[in-house]
């Protein structure tokens, strides 16, 4: 028994934010952003109306329809996001409600693996399908970054990179030989957890795991709150990234984890028909493409239009490529991601 992608879809909000638009809020230029990241524009969802769950729902509806099933057929939901609607509960149950799934013989799991969330979700779904536990798994990656960014000069290195959007797939069992997910490889290394992170709000309550880098002492009460006025005053509720470390680590881990997957199934990079990298930074993807010796027509890049949409980036890119006819029956598709944690992973899929 293997796991196949039976339906795929994506949703992008209408509002286009060009690099030039960001120059109204922060000291940056179109040229700087394009040179370092390749990004020309990104989408922002409609503030106070759309959320990660609503965008995920829109993508999921398309994937479900293309799989030829109805929402009630879904027996498990996996939702990957770092920008959930609520601190808790997770977006999985919100998606269930938005889809009108009223049956309770269904599980909903939220995963927080940031940029590699989709690959991790795919691996989890693959194990559930192979074990025979579920037959129609809905895997969604969705992000509404625009509500969690720092639009001042201080946040510019992070803010210019990220955009909003959602992608979804329906996963089903198949007995067709050599079809579906051939392998997934997952990795993590917590050494640099804080180098690409949003530290607050959190149960550290202001202390930062002893380093006090982001923290402050508040010893007079037995408990505390996840969000304090001081965190707001000191602009601590924004993502933090040591860009060069992320870049240098990503360009090593991407090729490593792709080669690991290929070796484990006895294939080489020449066998790849389409490479869909997590859209972290066009310069990272171009570097990986060169190292893997892949021609342009075998690589999907859409970060120029959408920025980095974290857990949503791979399903959006794969869905767009599928719509453009770039994914054909029998093709070997290679997915790879690297991001916060650090966590990274790859997947090989025979379409």
- Choose between 60 and 288: whose C-beta lies nearer to ligand COA: 288
Task: List the one residue from 80, 115, 261, 327 that touches ligand COA (CB under 6 A).
Answer: 115
How near is the Cβ of 38 to ligand COA at its closest, in Å? Answer: 9
How near is the Cβ of 86 to ligand COA at its closest, in Å? Answer: 24
Tell me if residue 240 is catalytic. no
Which of these ranges, 2-10, 152-160, 200-208, 231-239, lies near ligand COA under the rule CB under 6 A? 152-160
Q: Classify strands 107-111 and 137-143 as parallel, antiparallel or unpaired.
A: unpaired
- Choose between 148 and 243: whose C-beta lies nearer to ligand COA: 243
Asked if residue 199 lies in contact with residue 236, where contact means CB atoms within 8 angstroms, the answer is: yes
Task: List the one residue from 14, 211, 244, 324 that touches ligand COA (CB under 6 A).
Answer: 244
- Per annotation, catalytic residue among 19, 145, 278, 302: 278
Q: Does 51 bind ligand COA (CB under 6 A)?
A: no
Could you check whether the bond before residue 283 is cis, i.e. omega within 30 degrees of 0?
Answer: no
- Choose between 47 and 248: whose C-beta lies nearer to ligand COA: 248
Q: Classify strands 332-339 and 274-277 as parallel, antiparallel or unpaired.
A: parallel
Asked if residue 158 lies in contact with residue 6, where contact means CB atoms within 8 angstroms, the answer is: no
- Choose between 170 and 336: whose C-beta lies nearer to ligand COA: 336
Asked if residue 256 lies in contact with residue 186, where contact means CB atoms within 8 angstroms, the answer is: no
Residues near 5 by beta carbon (within 8 Å), at least 6 away in sequence: 169, 170, 171, 180, 349, 351
The site map against ligand COA for 268-307 (x = CB under 6 A) is: ------------xx--x-----------------------
Could you check whether the bond before residue 201 is cis, i.e. omega within 30 degrees of 0?
Answer: yes
Q: Does 151 bind ligand COA (CB under 6 A)?
A: no
Tell me if residue 308 is catalytic. yes
Q: Which two tokens stand for residue 334?
A: 């290679």
How near is the Cβ of 313 to ligand COA at its closest, in Å? Answer: 9
Write out 93-159 in H/E/C secondary structure.
Answer: HHHHHHCCCCCCCCEEEEECCHHHHHHHHHHHHHHHHHCCCCCCEEEEEEECHHHCCCCCHHHHHHH
Tell me if residue 185 is catalytic. no
Please tell me the distance from the alpha carbon of residue 118 to that of residue 310, in angstroms, as a whole number.
9
Please tell me the distance from the alpha carbon of residue 43 to that of residue 145, in angstroms, as a whole number.
10
Q: Does 321 bind ligand COA (CB under 6 A)?
A: no
The residues that touch ligand COA, with contacts defined as CB under 6 A, are 28, 32-33, 36-37, 115, 156-157, 160-161, 243-244, 246-247, 280-281, 284, 308, 339
Give catalytic residue positions.
115, 278, 308
């Amino acid at each position: 028994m293997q796991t196949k992608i039976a339906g795929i879809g994506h949703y992008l909000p209408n509002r286009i934010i060009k690099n030039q638009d960001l120059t109204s809020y922060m000291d940056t230029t179109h040229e700087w952003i394009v040179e370092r990241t390749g990004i020309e524009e990104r989408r922002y969802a409609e503030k106070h109306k759309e959320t990660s769950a609503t965008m995920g729902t829109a993508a999921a509806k398309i994937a479900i329809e293309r799989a030829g099933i109805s929402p009630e057929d879904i027996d498990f939901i996996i939702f990957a996001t770092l920008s959930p609607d609520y601190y808790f509960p997770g977006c999985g149950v919100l998606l269930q409600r938005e889809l009108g799934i009223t049956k309770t013989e269904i599980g909903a799991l939220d995963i927080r693996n940031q940029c590699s969330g989709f690959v991790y979700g795919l691996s989890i779904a693959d194990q559930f399908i192979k074990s025979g536990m579920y037959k129609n798994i809905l895997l969604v990656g969705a992000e509404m970054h625009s509500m969690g960014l720092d639009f001042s000069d201080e946040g510019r290195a992070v803010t210019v990179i990220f955009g909003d959007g959602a992608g979804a797939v329906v996963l089903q069992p198949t007995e067709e030989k050599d079809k579906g997910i051939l392998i997934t490889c997952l990795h993590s290394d917590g050494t640099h957890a804080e180098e690409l992170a949003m530290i607050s709000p959190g149960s550290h309550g202001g202390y930062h795991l002893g380093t006090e880098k982001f923290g402050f002492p508040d010893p007079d009460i037995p408990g505390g709150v996840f969000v304090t006025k001081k965190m707001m005053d000191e602009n601590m509720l924004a993502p933090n990234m040591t860009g060069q470390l992320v870049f240098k680590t990503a360009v090593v881990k991407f090729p490593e984890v792709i080669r690991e997957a290929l070796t484990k199934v006895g294939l080489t990079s020449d066998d790849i028909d389409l490479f869909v990298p997590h859209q972290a930074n066009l310069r990272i993807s171009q570097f990986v493409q060169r190292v893997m010796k892949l021609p342009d027509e075998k690589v999907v890049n859409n970060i120029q239009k959408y920025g980095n949409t974290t857990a949503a980036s791979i399903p959006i890119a794969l869905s767009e490529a599928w719509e453009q006819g770039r994914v054909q029956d029998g093709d070997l598709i290679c997915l790879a991601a690297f991001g916060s944690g650090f966590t990274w992973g790859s997947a090989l899929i025979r379409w």
